[in-house]
Amino acid sequence: MNISQWLDTIEPKALDQTDPRQLPETFKRKRRQMHTPTTSETQMDVALDVAPDATPPIKRQRPNNPIDNDLYMNRTPRARSGKAWSISDKTTSSRSSVTSTSRTSPTKRLARLEVAPENPVLVAQISRNDTRIPAELKAILGELDSFQSRVGIVPSYLGTEIDARAEYDDNFYNFTPSTFEADSAATISDPKLSLYEILKVFESARECLNEDHAEATWNTLVHWPVFELALGSIADVAEAANPVSAPRDQAECESRQQPIRVRGMPCTTARLIDRTHGSKMVDYCIFVEPQAREATKIAQLRERFLYINHTDYYPLRRRPIVLSAESKKPGENARNAQLQLSVWQAAQWAILEKMLSAGEETERPAAVPFLPALIIQGHEWHFAASTRFNNETILWIQQPIGATESILGIFQIVRALRHIAAWIRGTYWPWYRRAVLHLQETDRSI
């Protein structure tokens, strides 16, 4: 019996439900050649129309190319009255946009931002000789730089515990009497530090570096705990067992006025307003928790603008963002972090200017001199800031504030973050209340 006769005896179901006797001889020969399609053929099969009565395509191997793989995973079977295999137009459009963006290097994208017709964005290294840096930014840069000497950065109440630990732990080799701050240096707004929690961050950072952990692990075990050490948790826990009684008069109310709460928040899923794809995100932000009268004014702003920040991230809908922070694991692309921060803060400047221009005053209030930022790469923490010069947003980078590779370096970061929080309370928030919320200093509430 020859092969043709043998094929005639086989049930049609065994040949993909198509009777070979109804096919031309040339097609039967092709079916017996055991041909494996190439990647380009696979793409073409997905994109081209296939007649509903034709033989279903031979099972294809999943493409190795990640772009081809996206197409492979988004094939959508449709009714037999139409196309047998197709790609959703909407999915194709959005994925093409994202893929095109992701294939462009951060350096090239920054180059495009520099020459953007509207709101160009630049990244520049901090130079105190640069006339574009405002005096207020130079002042805080000098203050943060003074912490590099590590003088007065450790709370004095930890002195006894640290001295005892230094007797047998060589990681405390660089602690000297000058590293401890005076008792008057701490403020009521700063949460009390625990040496145990500092050591947890130190050991976690060592683990993350030695075992090459992912960025998400660095964020969870190292970076976020540092924010909590410096600023406290998002939700305050009352230390007193009994609730505090209500004030009896205005004098007592003023004496018990609550400090301005400056807190940090992880926000890795926050996106820019109306930017669901290709939007540059950051990892953390520092915000102000508004009190009663401030919250009332913010609610009024939301009725008019819907959002008071440049992101529609729900937990931040009523909390004004001040500082944004981008984190990377060691060795990852620093230019990408600069791209993310610069785009993010350019959007922050835009919404601030929008609210300022819509104020009730006949004369538009002056803008804040700069917006603070942080770039974190593994152990290393750097302060950054963006300014507006003419119609440009400039991101100034590379002011070191500490590193988690040493215990004293962690104290240094905490001290720097607390100094930034003090600037927010003393400079940024009074400006925001006056210029954006139109509240006077006497309009305070507990």
Shared domain for 20 and 144, answered yes or no, is no
**Whole-number pLDDT of residue 68:** 33
CA 435, 440, 441, 444 dihedral sign is negative
Shared domain for 223 and 141, answered yes or no, is yes
Residue 76 included in any domain: yes
Residue 165 included in any domain: yes
Residue 338 included in any domain: yes
What distance in Å separates the CA atoms of residue 408 and residue 171, rounded to the nearest whole number?
9
Residue 248 included in any domain: no
Residue 426 included in any domain: yes
Q: Which of 37, 70, 101 is the last residue of a domain?
A: 101
pLDDT tens, 173-215? Answer: 999 999 998 765 556 678 999 999 999 999 999 999 999 999 9
- Check whether 275 has a pLDDT greater than 80: no
Residue 54 included in any domain: yes
Please tell me the number of Cα atoms within 13 Å of 223 on its side-chain side.
31
Shared domain for 211 and 349, answered yes or no, is yes
Residues 6+ apart with CB under 8 A from 64: 39
Residues 6+ apart with CB under 8 A from 8: 20, 21
pLDDT tens, 360-370? Answer: 655 778 899 99
Shared domain for 97 and 206, answered yes or no, is no
Q: Which of 101, 128, 147 is the last residue of a domain?
A: 101
Percent of the chain with pLDDT over 70: 67
Mean local confidence (pLDDT), 79-95: 38
Burial of 276 (0-12, 13-18, 19+ CB in 10 A): exposed
Residue 150 included in any domain: yes
Residue 67: pLDDT band (50, 70, 90) is: very low
At residue 96, what are phi and psi to the nearest 5 degrees?
-65, -40
Shared domain for 158 and 213, answered yes or no, is yes
Shared domain for 29 and 139, answered yes or no, is no
- Strands, DSSP E only, in 316-424? 321-328, 371-377, 380-389, 392-403
**Whole-number pLDDT of residue 279:** 62
Shared domain for 52 and 153, answered yes or no, is no
Residue 244 included in any domain: no
Shared domain for 117 and 15, answered yes or no, is no
- Check whether 86 has a pLDDT greater than 50: no
- Check whether 319 has a pLDDT greater than 50: yes
Shared domain for 77 and 156, answered yes or no, is no
Structural domain total, the chain:
2
Residue type, 359: G
Shared domain for 204 and 167, answered yes or no, is yes
Shared domain for 120 and 61, answered yes or no, is no
Q: What is the DSSP letter of 249?
A: S
At residue 376, what are phi and psi to the nearest 5 degrees?
-115, 125
Shared domain for 163 and 137, answered yes or no, is yes
Give the domain range for residue 170. 104-236+254-435
Q: Which of 56, 76, 101 is the last residue of a domain?
A: 101
CA angle 381, 129, 379 (to 5 degrees): 10
- Check whether 22 has a pLDDT greater than 70: no
